[in-house]
């Protein structure tokens, strides 16, 4: 039996990509905001229905440079139920992450718990639309407005989503997307920031190019985070097919639902009628007592059958050894509970329905 990985990168046809990069052999312009970069930037503005997009090498640099561009100091309220990148972006900017617990259903930041964490050092909130689940954007906006805090969304999972007709990238002061190979939309490696304040955009443009302001002026200690032409070209190709890819993901998710919905001891990710989902992930929370098997048992059984599920997100970022027990995981008990029980199941556009059926049969056979 062929192995099934948790994800498989979307790719255009070989010749489609060859056609897209052919021009680069004429121009010899391989990076530094060339034609493909400009074209992808323009097309993403349209696809994401936002005013401004700045392209970057990856989603992490989008987060890190956005925080730097905002020139923040102090504490940033965030979630530990995320990829290492979110927390690292805060810490690498010399800022202190303050961990807010998550909602047990959406797994996004529990808005009821934010205000209790605000101090006179708080400068920003960095929530995550985890698994593509929309944060309580209204609640966060209300708090940010009341306390004059910046809001930077980690929208790495939320590419192209729309909430009540409004584009996901238009919330907060900035939204950061990842175009990593494993994401719904990829440019091999890549990322982008959507924002409204064009001054922020100008700063991001300089920061991604060493802080170079003009031919003889370097005005900020920037990084190198420019998206190259080959990645931009891959993005242009994949963008042509992303709607279809999302439709195919939707069919896979519906198939999973048809088998797993209503099973005792299993909590599925909730889809909302007011959000156009991108079907990025399929997380399942296993409650051992009610289900009859633990997350570890399900994970191991799937692995034995050549199926790669992921403990995503486990461990929580506030337990990482790099932080030397600086944070107390007991401050976020719901996140801890979920992270010990969640598995994301294989999900990608070309996953076969028979494979979904087999994965679900194997999982349900664990149930005692
Ligand atoms: C993928 C991811 C990132 C980082 O994106 P890269 O493009 O891999 O740098 C940040 N946050 C979350 C939640 C992610 O899943």
Tell me, using a 6 A CB cutoff, whether residue 360 lines ligand 1.
no
Q: How confident is the model at residue 154 (pLDDT cuts 50, 70, 90)?
A: very high
- The distance of Cα 149 from the centroid of its chain, to the nearest Å, equals 22
Which pLDDT value is given to residue 367?
Answer: 86
Q: What are the CA-CA distances from residue 231 to residues 19, 169, 245 (Å)?
A: 14, 21, 19
Contact by Cβ (8 Å): 227, 190: yes
Which pLDDT value is given to residue 308?
Answer: 97
Max Cα distance, the chain (Å): 71
For ligand 1, pick from 59, 177, 187, 193 the residue to mutate: most ligand atoms within 8 Å of CB.
Answer: 59
Contact by Cβ (8 Å): 27, 148: no
Report the distance separating Cα 105 and Cα 164, nearest Å: 20
Ligand 1 centroid–CA 327 distance in Å is 22
Which pLDDT value is given to residue 150?
Answer: 98
Q: Is the dihedral of CA 236, 237, 241, 245 positive or negative?
A: negative
Tell me, using a 6 A CB cutoff, whether residue 348 lines ligand 1.
no
In the structure encoding, which two tokens stand for residue 127, read together? 């929530």
Ligand 1 centroid–CA 197 distance in Å is 23
Mean pLDDT of 242-248: 98
Q: How confident is the model at residue 2 (pLDDT cuts 50, 70, 90)?
A: confident
Instruction: Select from 20, 53, 35 the least CA-distant residue to 228.
Output: 35
In the structure encoding, which two tokens stand for residue 221, read together? 């200690």
pLDDT tens per residue, range 199-233: 999 999 999 999 999 999 999 999 999 999 999 99
Contact by Cβ (8 Å): 356, 256: yes
Tell me, using a 6 A CB cutoff, whether residue 20 lines ligand 1.
no
Report the distance separating Cα 202 and Cα 266, nearest Å: 47
Report the distance separating Cα 228 and Cα 57, nearest Å: 8
Tell me, using a 6 A CB cutoff, whether residue 64 lines ligand 1.
no
Residue 230 in 3-state DSSP?
A: helix
Tell me, using a 6 A CB cutoff, whether residue 225 lines ligand 1.
no
Ligand 1 centroid–CA 29 distance in Å is 28
Radius of gyration (Cα) for the chain, nearest Å? 21
What number does the ligand 1 atom closest to the CA of 130 have?
Answer: 13
Mean pLDDT of 247-267: 98
Ligand 1 centroid–CA 292 distance in Å is 33
Query: pLDDT exceeding 90 applies to what percent of the chain?
Result: 99
For ligand 1, pick from 55, 180, 185, 187 the residue to mutate: most ligand atoms within 8 Å of CB.
Answer: 180
Ligand 1 centroid–CA 242 distance in Å is 19
Tell me, using a 6 A CB cutoff, whether residue 180 lines ligand 1.
yes
Tell me, using a 6 A CB cutoff, whether residue 346 lines ligand 1.
no
In the structure encoding, which two tokens stand for residue 263, read together? 């099973």
pTM for this one? 0.97
Tell me, using a 6 A CB cutoff, whether residue 228 lines ligand 1.
no
Neighbours of 65 (CB within 10 A): 27
DSSP string, 117-177: G--TTEEEEE-B-GGGPPP-HHHHHHHHHHHT-EEEEE-TT-TT-EETTEEGGGSSSEEEE
What DSSP designation does 345 have? P
Model confidence at 368: pLDDT above 80: no
Tell me, using a 6 A CB cutoff, whether residue 59 lines ligand 1.
yes
In the structure encoding, which two tokens stand for residue 120, read together? 């006179």
Instruction: Report the chain's mean pLDDT, rounded to a whole number.
Output: 97
CA angle centred on 186, ends 166 and 92, rounded to 5° = 85
Tell me, using a 6 A CB cutoff, whether residue 187 lines ligand 1.
no
Ligand 1 centroid–CA 205 distance in Å is 20
Mean pLDDT of 180-192: 98
Contacts of 38 (CB under 8 A, 6+ apart): none
Q: Which residue has the tokens 């690498």?
A: 92
């Amino acid at each position: 039996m062929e192995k099934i990985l948790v994800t498989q990168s979307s790719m255009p046809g070989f010749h489609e990509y060859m056609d897209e990069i052919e021009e680069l052999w004429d121009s010899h312009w391989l990076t530094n905001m060339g034609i493909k970069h400009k074209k992808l930037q323009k097309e993403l503005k349209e696809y994401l229905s936002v005013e401004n997009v700045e392209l970057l090498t990856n989603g992490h640099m989008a987060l890190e440079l956005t925080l730097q561009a905002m020139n923040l100091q102090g504490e940033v309220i965030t979630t530990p139920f995320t990829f290492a990148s979110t927390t690292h972006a805060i810490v690498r900017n010399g800022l202190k992450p303050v961990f807010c617990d998550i909602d047990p259903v959406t797994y996004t930041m529990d808005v009821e718990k934010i205000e209790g964490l605000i101090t006179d050092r708080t400068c920003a909130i960095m929530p995550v639309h985890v698994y593509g689940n929309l944060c309580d954007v209204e609640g966060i906006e209300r708090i940010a407005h009341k306390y004059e805090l910046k809001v930077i969304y980690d929208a790495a999972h939320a590419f192209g989503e729309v909430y009540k007709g409004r584009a996901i990238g238009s919330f907060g002061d900035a939204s950061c997307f990842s175009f990593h190979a494993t994401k719904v939309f990829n440019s091999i490696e890549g990322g982008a920031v959507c924002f409204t304040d064009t001054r922020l955009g100008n700063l991001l443009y300089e920061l991604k190019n060493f802080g170079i302001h003009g031919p003889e002026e370097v005005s900020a200690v920037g990084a190198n985070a420019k998206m190259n032409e080959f990645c931009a070209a891959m993005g242009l190709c994949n963008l042509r097919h992303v709607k279809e890819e999302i439709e195919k993901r939707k069919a896979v998710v519906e198939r999973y639902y048809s088998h797993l919905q209503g099973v005792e001891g299993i909590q599925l990710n909730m889809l909302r009628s007011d959000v156009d989902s991108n079907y990025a992930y399929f997380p399942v929370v296993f409650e051992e007592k009610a289900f009859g098997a633990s997350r570890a048992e399900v994970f191991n059984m799937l692995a034995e059958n050549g199926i790669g599920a992921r403990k995503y997100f486990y461990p929580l970022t506030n337990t990482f050894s790099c932080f030397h027990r600086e944070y107390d995981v007991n401050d976020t008990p719901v996140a801890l509970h979920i992270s010990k029980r969640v598995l994301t199941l294989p999900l990608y556009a070309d996953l076969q329905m028979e494979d979904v059926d087999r994965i679900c049969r194997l999982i349900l056979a664990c149930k005692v």
